Amino acid sequence: MKLFNGKAVANKILKELKEAIIKEKKSPKLAIILVGDDEASKLYVKLKKSIGKKIGIDVDEHRFSAQAKEDGITAYIKRLNEDTDVSGIIVQMPLPAIFNTDKIIEAISPAKDVDGFHKENRKLLEKGTQGIVPVLPATVLSALEVALKSSQENKKILALVNSETFGQTLKLVLAKEGFNIDYLVRNTCVVFGAEKEIKEADVLISVCGCSKMIKGEMIKDGAILIDAGVTRYHDGKIMGDVDEVSVAGKASFLTPVPGGLGPLTVALLLRNVYLAFKKR
């Protein structure tokens, strides 16, 4: 089973970004909105700041308590929209349950929405217009291109996702590059009712956040597995949707967790920041 080296792909992107940014007169800037005290979110923000610093992108962290007023957060984001020094804005997920995630994301200017979550950017995708490509679907696409190279004909590609919106977005991003997929929304961490589709898939993409949900006996021989699901435990351990041990003798390709799509996700986010900076 071949393992996808996300760090190597990410390092190539970061090297190209660093070389491009050196030639600029000023540095791009990413503003990260962090709400609450989720330890995993703090670690992700710290990682983005560290990598951004290495390549010349300033990453500013804007913290709010879990008791902050939602209107106060959206008003703050709108001020960042008007700040000409800020190239891109993201809201670090997940938000505490009391907040309306869509409302907070919609406060971001579409031109600065470097995660690609804003509804206006999704509309551009639907129209086939070039806009900001959502980061996670772009990461999945990069892994697919490595796994399939030029042989994607007659491949049955199935995605297991945890929301209809993400499923539609993933389908749109991949379709633009010639990858036709089906997706199933899984609201719980079980595959009951989807066993047949999973077994028939040549390529299985999982973005559910359900630790070790995909077992070796569920997949077909030689299946390509794109694991974009992450579960972080209190002891700091990170697990993916795929049970790597049980699929090792059956799958032909796997994006491991950690070390697979994670590094690439950060690199593509920072590339979106640079692209937004250039457009402005």
Spell out where 12-87 has E strands: 29-35, 58-64
Q: Which pLDDT score is estimated for 204?
A: 98
Residue 16 vs residues 19, 197, 256: alpha-carbon distances, Å: 5, 39, 24
Confidence band (pLDDT; 50, 70, 90) for 132?
confident
Identify the pLDDT of residue 130.
65
Calculated CA dihedral for residues 182, 206, 269, 106, nearest 10 degrees: 70
Instruction: Identify the pLDDT of residue 152.
Output: 64
pLDDT, average across residues 61-81: 97
Using the predicted structure, report yes or no on whether residue 217 has a pLDDT greater than 80.
yes
Q: Is the pLDDT of residue 166 over 70?
A: yes
Given pLDDT bands bounded at 50, 70 and 90, which one contains residue 165? confident
* Residue 219 pLDDT class (50, 70, 90 cuts): very high
Q: Are 186 and 207 contacting, i.e. CB atoms less than 8 angstroms apart? A: no
Q: At 127, is the pLDDT very low, low, confident or very high (cuts 50, 70, 90)? A: confident
Work out the mean pLDDT of the chain and round it to a whole number.
92
**Which residues make Cβ contacts (< 8 Å) with residue 165, sequence separation at least 6?**
122
Check residue 150 and give its pLDDT.
Answer: 60
Mean pLDDT for 33-60 is: 93
Q: What is residue 151's predicted lDDT score, i.e. its pLDDT?
A: 65
Taken in order of first residue, the domains within the chain and their CATH numbers are 25-112 (3.40.50.10860), 135-262 (3.40.50.720)
- Predicted confidence at residue 211, as pLDDT, reads 93
Name the percent of the chain lying above pLDDT 90.
75
Entry pTM: 0.90
Long-range pairs of 226-233 with CB within 8 A, sequence gap ≥ 24: 226/140, 226/143, 226/144, 226/147, 226/255, 226/261, 227/254, 227/255, 227/256, 227/257, 227/260, 227/261, 228/136, 228/139, 228/140, 228/255, 228/261, 229/257, 230/257, 230/262, 232/40
Q: Is the model's pLDDT at 131 over the cut of 80? A: no
Under the banding of pLDDT at 50, 70 and 90, the label for residue 97 is: confident
When pLDDT is cut at 50, 70 and 90, the band that residue 280 belongs to is confident
Residue 81 has what pLDDT? 98
The pLDDT value recorded for residue 234 is: 63
The answer to whether the annotation marks 230 as part of a ligand binding site is yes
Q: What pLDDT is stored for residue 205 in this prediction?
A: 98
Q: What pLDDT does 123 receive?
A: 84
